[in-house]
Structure 1
């Protein structure tokens, strides 16, 4: 099946075991730091590899340079952006329909939160984005979103703005109609789909949709 115009980013965090099943013909693939070497270890050549490459050996970097069409190495100290954001900037510049990020969540909460917040920049460019790891699938909406079950047990809603208003849910166990969520409230945690998909509508604000499983 031919894909729409998509960019896939692979970083050095938790990457789902079946990631190859989510790569479609025509996808532009970016490897950020160790994510680039992870890809070639699994038989995938990224279109671009970028980062300071402090998490791989100099020999691995030379291997990347021989195989990848484009390798952008930056100084580990003299840089303002994380490797994931450097990759994200390349993705935005390609003006895709969708950006999917793998390996951008992990034990570093600061990096994980920064990577989640990057989805705001995609939304500002009218680009759909998502983050996928073994136990989470994260998207962001400012209007209407269709949520597919995707083998996840829970769906949690968290405001990315101080308040999200006019939240209406269809196809969920716990229903909301014209509800509001404010930062610091847990009302939107651990809902469940009662069908294979549900719909979320909001009137104002930005809402994180986090599908998860234990």
Structure 2
């Protein structure tokens, strides 16, 4: 059975290579400028959301007419970022996986917040991944299969003070019941030895980053 997926395009670094990820059955959410990006590349967002303060009134009209549904909010009187608003709506769709794009860029505060938001998705027992031009990130507190997606490196970073019981199979540098603590670099720049590897975790949350230089 095909996985139910929600793809979020936000207003950070956007590139046409992300469009290759779209499948016909995907539910597409455009957050702020991400909605305009989809429309200008001939995709109709199922949902556009945000305060739309980063686009012109003319472009906002394009978003209104080019989206199946639009939810706009006041740019001042709101507590959540556009990406978080989109993520909450994505979770309500109860998909198998949420894929985030356009959520990294020059604003490190937004980038870090968006990475941390993956924990909220995991709490709903939904897989979540974050994609940009050089990285593919996932979060696990149990077990995941890491597929060869064409990235050179696989790095592991604790998202909790420590992550225990880490076991790696199918990697150049295997681990067996290891512990990683915040501030340690032991998990940086590993590599797959084949088409996939397995990571299991007994305690804590582990960020898995596949990356290229």
Matches within 5 A, 1:33-182: 33-182=32-181
Deviations 1:63-90 (A, max 9, x none): 1111211111111111000000000000
Give the secondary structure class of the aligned counterpart of 2:210.
strand
1:25-58 C-alpha deviation (Å, 9 max, x unpaired) = 2211000000000011111110111111111000
**Residue 203 of structure 1 corresponds to which residue in structure 2?**
202
TM-score w.r.t. the length of structure 1 is 0.97
1:8 maps to what in 2? Answer: 7
Distance 1:36 1:133 in 2: 17
- Deviation of 1:132 after TM superposition, in Å, equals 0.4
Distance in 2 (CA, whole Å) between partners of 1:22 and 1:138 is 15
Which SS does the other structure have where 2:16 is aligned?
Answer: coil
Asked if structure 2 preserves the Cα contact closer than 8 Å seen for 1:16 and 1:132, the reply is no
Report what 2:17 is aligned to.
18
**In the TM superposition, what is the alpha-carbon distance from 1:16 to its structure 2 partner?**
4.3
Offset at residue 4 of structure 1 (A)? 1.7
1:192 paired with 2:188, answer no
Structure 1: runs of 5+ lacking an equivalent: none
The whole-number CA distance in structure 1 between the counterparts of 2:16 and 2:145 is: 25
- Structure 2 gaps of 5+ residues are none
Question: What count of residue pairs does the alignment treat as equivalent?
Answer: 213
Tell me which moved more, 80-89 or 64-73.
64-73
Report SS of the residue matched to 1:88. helix
The secondary structure found in structure 2 opposite 1:18 is helix
Query: What's the RMSD between the two structures over aligned residues?
Result: 1.1
Q: TM-score, normalised by structure 2?
A: 0.97
